[in-house]
């Protein structure tokens, strides 16, 4: 842990030097030669303004949906522009309700796939499986639970897993020999699933009892091929970092993803708590060479005409990283993975005949954001520093524009936190102090994520593709043991 922390500190120092120091020197030299930074200032302020407008639109859509006594509708922008034929996709589900009625009448065969890397997750896998087997509401005769896992060596936990499977015919164990990735485990499971709907969960996820009954109506209607649920943090009380991540997840799953689904009727697969039409998923599969196989599968599905919806009422809880080095490794992989996906798919997204204009614009902005927002946005610091060192001041017009865009960005962020707090009250309330902490620390947290994004970019340019598994449990925690009643 100490070595990891030292490496992280050195990486932060190097990143700050490259990200801020080197540009500041270039800007000073440019200014001394009579150049101007005005075009770059305008671009950066424009990026801030665009980001704040998008965030405000997503938040407003969620607040509007919360206020509705009846089910809200999808595709707000499409319905607003529906009189323009060129904007209308071939199959429009804009009239679909926000959330179909939960029905207990239709119970098709369903497959739940739990994915695990056992050396890392042997301390939590039994608890997860026992939760799914005992808590998820679905007829046992119509359900199969597949544990698709890999391990380099035999582990004692496998004997407990075998005993659990012996007393639960619903559970099937699938050890994927030679696998080195989550994608390979999933692809192996897709060869044996028998359900009409396939649900994917990571090893730390505990889905709500009604998750299947809420997810199936979306697919049953025939307008969507995947519904992504809402992930909330279960270990939020561990420390200040897990509190921060808990609110961040509320802002992501409760506001951003949800608001995007409301506005332009599109969504993404977040890697877990996703409910696929099995036939569609078996055609898409997962690519193990991608660092974020879930986002890659999302884009490939959309580009083949499959439709995705986000439902914040389909809940699962998961574990957040409990220390900064673990969070850094996780987010660095996410950021680099998004960059890979953006470079691989953005041209096809721009030309896709399966996405209408609002959806194409939405996805292009997300992909371009993953490529350059953080390195560009942070340049406001070396620009201000270079102007000061060169004895110059920002023009009054530029200062006002920069100030307005910055204030709007901060305001939209606080508005998102407010919407997340209101949305969370409807499910599993979090203490208000968590949201206050997030609001106070959000500038620092933004800086942290910007550093992660720049390091991820340097990794990609340097050809480094390191995958560090996310440590699931505290080192002091004991390995889970099988419930004696199930032995």
**pLDDT tens, 375-387?**
787 787 888 888 8
pTM (2 d.p.): 0.87
Positions of E strands within 118-183: 143-150, 171-175
Look up residue 343 and give its two tokens: 């470079």
Least trusted range by pLDDT, from 68-82, 158-172, 204-218, 430-444: 68-82
pLDDT at 47: 85
Confidence of residue 3 (pLDDT cuts 50, 70, 90): low
* 58 within 8 A of 261, measured Cβ to Cβ: no
Per-residue DSSP letters for 356-369? -HHHHHHHHHHHHH
SS (H, E, C) 329-348: HHHHHHHHHHHHHHHHHHHH
Residue 84 pLDDT more than 60?
Answer: no
Across the range 282-291, mean pLDDT stands at 95
Across the range 261-290, mean pLDDT stands at 96
User: How far, rounded to the nearest angstrom, does the alpha carbon of residue 13 sit from its chain's CA centroid?
Assistant: 27
Q: Which residues on neighbouring strands pair with residue 200, listed in sequence order? A: 113, 274
**pLDDT tens, 331-364?**
999 999 999 999 999 999 999 999 999 999 999 9
CB within 8 Å of 450: residues ≥ 6 apart: 19, 374, 375, 377, 378
Across the chain, mean pLDDT equals: 86
CB within 8 Å of 150: residues ≥ 6 apart: 116, 117, 118, 175, 176, 177, 179, 180, 184, 185
**pLDDT tens, 397-418?**
777 877 887 788 888 888 999 9
Higher pLDDT, 426 or 449: 449
Residue 87 pLDDT more than 50?
Answer: no
Least trusted range by pLDDT, from 16-25, 237-246, 250-259: 16-25
Confidence of residue 89 (pLDDT cuts 50, 70, 90): very low
What H or E segment, with its residue span, contains residue 439?
A: helix 432-461
Q: How many CB atoms lie within 10 A of CB 429?
A: 9
**pLDDT tens, 96-134?**
444 566 555 678 999 999 999 998 899 999 999 999 999
């Amino acid at each position: 842990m100490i070595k990891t922390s030292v490496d992280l500190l050195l990486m932060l120092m190097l990143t700050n030097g490259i990200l801020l120091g080197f540009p500041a020197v270039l800007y000073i030299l440019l200014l001394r030669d009579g150049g101007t930074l005005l075009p770059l200032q305008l671009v950066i302020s424009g990026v801030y303004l665009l980001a704040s407008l998008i965030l405000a639109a997503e938040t407003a859509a969620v607040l509007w949906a919360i206020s509705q006594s009846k089910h809200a509708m999808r595709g707000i922008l499409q319905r607003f522009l529906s009189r323009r034929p060129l904007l209308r996709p071939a199959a429009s589900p804009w009239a679909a309700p926000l959330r179909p009625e939960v029905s207990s009448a239709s119970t098709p065969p369903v497959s739940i796939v739990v994915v695990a890397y056992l050396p890392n997750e042997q301390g939590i896998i039994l608890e997860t499986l026992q939760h799914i087997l005992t808590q998820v509401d679905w007829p046992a005769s119509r359900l199969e639970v597949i544990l698709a896992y890999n391990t380099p060596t035999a582990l004692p936990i496998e004997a407990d897993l075998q005993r659990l499977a012996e007393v639960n015919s619903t559970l099937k164990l699938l050890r994927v020999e030679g696998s080195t990735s989550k994608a390979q485990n999933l692809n192996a499971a897709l060869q044996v699933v028998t359900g009409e709907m396939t649900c994917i969960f990571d090893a730390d996820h505990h889905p709500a009892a009604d998750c299947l009954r809420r997810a199936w109506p979306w697919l049953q209607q025939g307008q969507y091929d995947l519904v992504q649920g809402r992930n909330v943090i279960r270990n939020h009380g561990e420390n200040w970092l897990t509190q921060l991540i808990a609110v961040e997840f509320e802002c992501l799953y409760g506001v951003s993803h949800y608001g995007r689904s409301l506005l332009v009727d599109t969504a993404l697969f977040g890697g877990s708590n996703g409910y696929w039409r099995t036939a569609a998923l078996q055609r898409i599969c997962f690519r193990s060479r991608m660092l974020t196989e879930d986002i890659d599968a999302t884009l490939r599905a959309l580009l083949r005409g499959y439709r995705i919806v986000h439902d914040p009422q389909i809940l699962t809880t998961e574990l957040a990283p409990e220390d900064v080095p673990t969070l850094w490794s996780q987010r660095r992989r996410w950021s680099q993975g998004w960059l890979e996906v953006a470079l691989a798919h953005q041209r096809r997204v721009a030309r896709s005949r399966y996405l209408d204009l609002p959806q194409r614009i939405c996805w292009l902005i997300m992909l371009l954001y993953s490529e350059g927002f953080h390195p560009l946005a942070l340049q406001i610091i070396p620009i201000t520093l270079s102007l000061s060192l060169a004895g110059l001041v920002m023009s009054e017009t530029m200062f006002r524009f920069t100030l307005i865009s910055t204030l709007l960005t901060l305001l939209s962020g606080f508005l998102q936190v407010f919407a997340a707090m209101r949305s969370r009250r409807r499910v599993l309330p979090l203490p208000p102090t968590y949201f206050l902490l997030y609001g106070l620390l959000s500038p620092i947290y933004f800086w942290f994520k910007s550093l992660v994004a720049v390091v991820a970019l340097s990794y990609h340019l340097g050809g480094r593709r390191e995958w560090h598994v996310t440590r699931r449990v505290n080192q002091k925690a004991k390995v889970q043991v099988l419930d004696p009643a199930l032995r």
